[in-house]
Amino acid sequence: MSAGIPPIKGFLETSFIDWPGKLCAILFVGGCNFRCPFCHNHPLVLAPEGMETIPFAEIMSRLAARKNWLAGICISGGEPTLSPGLPQMIARFKAEGWAIKLDTNGTRPEVLAQLLGDNLLDMVAMDVKTVLEQEKYARCAGGAVDLGAIRESIDLLRESGIPHEFRMTIAPSLHTEEDIVAWTQQFDRSRSRLTLQNFNPRTTLDVRYEKEPGFAPEIFSRLSALIA
């Protein structure tokens, strides 16, 4: 592994859904400061050290072979901003002409500000857990949350001038219609996009959620209409 580069624990060579309107590759880095009970990437969250690390040179080689038809690279996790070497890794990709999308939970606005200030990002998707109320957010994130940091990251993206979106995975036991309405009242929809994602019960961090269905299609459609 190259010095300073975060350990890469997963790599998908192509995705049609992770960067709206673009075909991209996805890198996954390990570690997260949230314990969302419905998380389906929990091996990356709980035990990344037990997962194989893909050599950075291999990643660069595989990306180079697809340079002519990939539009960019999405860096996801886990929570990428926890990795000290994240700016160095992105700078290496940018030096090769890659556009970069970052997936983040917004808990480290100082890292986000550095990346934005250094013009290292072309798109950001920030996962927001629910309306910005301490008890509700902590329940969705699986522990205490600094809502001040979350708000700071939201403001950074709204003022950044780069494409961005906020994404909220909603589950019947965690989210209500009132939560969705409250979010729209907290933030000007004309300046930022919120995308709802229906909870899909797969292997989850909290096994109890594996038995919980997502919202019925007609209910999810009605909730999505609230933010249209």
Bond before 85 cis per omega within 30 degrees: no
Q: Which amino acid is at 169?
A: T
pLDDT category at 2 given cuts 50, 70, 90 is: very low
**Number of residues assigned to the chain:** 228
Beta bridge partners of 73: 25, 100
Residue 2 lies in a domain: no
**What strands, in cross-sheet order, belong to the sheet with 72-76?**
8-19, 22-29, 72-76, 100-104, 123-127, 164-170, 193-198
Name the token pair of 17: 């859904």
CATH code for the domain of 117: 3.20.20.70
Name the token pair of 172: 């019947």
Whether the per-residue pLDDT at 119 is higher than 50: the answer is yes
Residue 211 lies in a domain: yes
The reported pLDDT for the residue numbered 189 is 63
* Structural domains counted in the chain: 1
Residue 1 lies in a domain: no
The reported pLDDT for the residue numbered 1 is 38
Cα gap 96→40, rounded to integer Å? 32
